[in-house]
A = this chain, B = another copy of it.
């Protein structure tokens, strides 16, 4: 893009007409390209033909101009533009392509609906903020390649047409033409292939890999997403985390010019749940969960006392200045919301200079000091209590903590707060499946000291796994993997696999473990989410060039679509009757 350095020079510029102001004998045009906007001036004096053509230009025409870079008049300088001190006096112009009136204006502030934006994605992507978002994503990608190459990682591609590695989500299937009734699956992650590459002796592998999950779409989920996938042999957890920190440091520096301080803080999973009510704590603000058991026990408030007697928890957060900020009605609404986490209610008290206020304050009249101390509260604060099991308390107060921080503007949006969450349980109980499932995946190594527990009392095992969390989002996660057949067999057994099912599904992989597999481990970072956070967006759609909408369709190309009967015949499949009858959901 031209600036003061080009003063006096003749330049050739190509780009799009952003805006045109016609003053009759003088026409101004804002010319836009991927680097920004520059002002063109057309006049009789600089080029009479150019002036004539300029009159016919419309928004989004593609043009090529020849002109001289000159300084703007003092009063015409625009300090908000990189090119704001100069303009180009155009002597010649060519129209490279015309444009119809676009369905929405190519500006950062757009009132186009999400579906309009996706349907005309090639126009939406012209908007400077979208250009910037994809440039940030590109910069992350470039830095990942450079850093990992410099650190002797080998980029290796793994198959997209493969057998499924069941990781809890539904697979996308691809019918085989050669083998009727057989299907490939698109990978949910390259997990087993990257482990095989360690078995193959590659030592340090990485790939920026597409992953596929046929799940119901939420805010930051897409049918396909991209993972920075890393695996190493002979490195332990600390070494992998240190290497990852080097990568994160390089990305933050290259992308946003930020000096990330390392080592990044660690927190155990237990502590994260206790203090933040979340396994992905947002540590940009305080308002931590405080254990109120000692302060409230025996004061006569039955709900608290009986919960504690049953082995439950009573915890609270203290909302700074919340006493005035929240009405009873607003608190009731929050109480209603947290019922989805299993909470029976939300108890509250306001802290005043004189004491405590609210429906349950009467029980704690003479405990004001203990309560303020336990909750780290001060006059003016609002105390929100949840009494229940550990999980319900964590989920409820963890949610309230984040929600209220947003409402109260407690979050510094310019901060990037990383934290490692370590020492995870190996299993977690799934309400959906009514059984224990792998907290990460079935290839995660238990802590060395828990290897015996895996046989006897597996659900007490902790794992050699680690998540990296950024601003309350799980940016990535990893683990040391199982490299011995016996341990892998014990793990599958603990997950409820029969010997037969284990063999059928993972036999080919466990066979590989028989032939000299090195100790190994790695991690994967979500590239979409990383780009989303660095671009300060709230949906990964904003950092994906051609995402699907919430119905998993692409409004631009109309995918998925119907196909020719011959195509299905070639693939030996038919649309099921119920499918033909169904209208679109």
Q: Which residue of B lies closest to A119 (CB)?
A: B508
Does A66 interact with chain B (Cβ within 8 Å)?
no
Does A23 interact with chain B (Cβ within 8 Å)?
no
On chain A, the number of residues with a Cβ less than 8 Å from chain B's Cβ atoms is: 120
Q: Are A174 and B186 in contact (CB under 8 A)?
A: yes
Across-interface contacts of A199 in B (CB, < 8 A): 122
* Closest beta carbon of chain B to A544's beta carbon, Å: 7
Across-interface contacts of A180 in B (CB, < 8 A): 575-576, 578-580, 582, 584
Binds B, one of A133-141, A408-416, A456-464: A133-141
Q: Are A563 and B183 in contact (CB under 8 A)?
A: yes
Across-interface contacts of A551 in B (CB, < 8 A): 178-179
With A and B bound together, what is the CA distance between A14 and B198 in angstroms?
A: 13
Q: Are A34 and B560 in contact (CB under 8 A)?
A: no
Question: Given the interface contacts A121-B200, A178-B552, A483-B97, does A161 sit within 8 Å of B223 by beta carbon?
Answer: yes
Interface residues of A in 527-585 (CB under 8 A from B): 544-546, 548, 551-554, 556-563, 567-576, 578-580, 582, 584-585
Does A146 interact with chain B (Cβ within 8 Å)?
yes
Q: Which residue of B lies closest to A135 (CB)?
A: B154
Across-interface contacts of A34 in B (CB, < 8 A): 201-203
With A and B bound together, what is the CA distance between A212 and B159 in angstroms?
A: 11
Bitwise, A512-528 to B at CB < 8 A (1) or not (0) is 10111111000000000
Binds B, one of A2-10, A98-106, A369-377: A98-106
Across-interface contacts of A176 in B (CB, < 8 A): 552, 560
Across-interface contacts of A121 in B (CB, < 8 A): 196, 200
With A and B bound together, what is the CA distance between A551 and B177 in angstroms?
A: 10
Across-interface contacts of A16 in B (CB, < 8 A): 201, 516
With A and B bound together, what is the CA distance between A464 and B212 in angstroms?
A: 37
* Closest beta carbon of chain B to A49's beta carbon, Å: 21
* Closest beta carbon of chain B to A213's beta carbon, Å: 11
The listed residue (B61, B155, B575) touching A516 by CB distance below 8 A is B61
Q: Are A163 and B558 in contact (CB under 8 A)?
A: yes
Q: Are B515 and A123 in contact (CB under 8 A)?
A: yes
Does A226 interact with chain B (Cβ within 8 Å)?
yes
Interface residues of A in 191-215 (CB under 8 A from B): 192-193, 196-197, 199-203, 210, 212, 214
Does A435 interact with chain B (Cβ within 8 Å)?
no
The listed residue (B97, B197, B203) touching A545 by CB distance below 8 A is B197
Binds B, one of A83-91, A165-173, A264-272, A465-473: A165-173
Q: Which residue of B lies closest to A223 (CB)?
A: B161
Question: Among A123, A176, A567, which residue has the most Cβ atoms of chain B within 10 A?
Answer: A176
Q: List 28 A-B contacts (CB under 8 A).
A: A14-B233, A14-B234, A32-B201, A62-B516, A62-B519, A97-B516, A99-B516, A122-B512, A125-B197, A158-B545, A161-B212, A161-B560, A162-B557, A163-B560, A171-B563, A173-B567, A175-B175, A175-B573, A179-B560, A183-B563, A185-B559, A192-B557, A193-B546, A210-B210, A508-B558, A568-B576, A572-B576, A573-B576
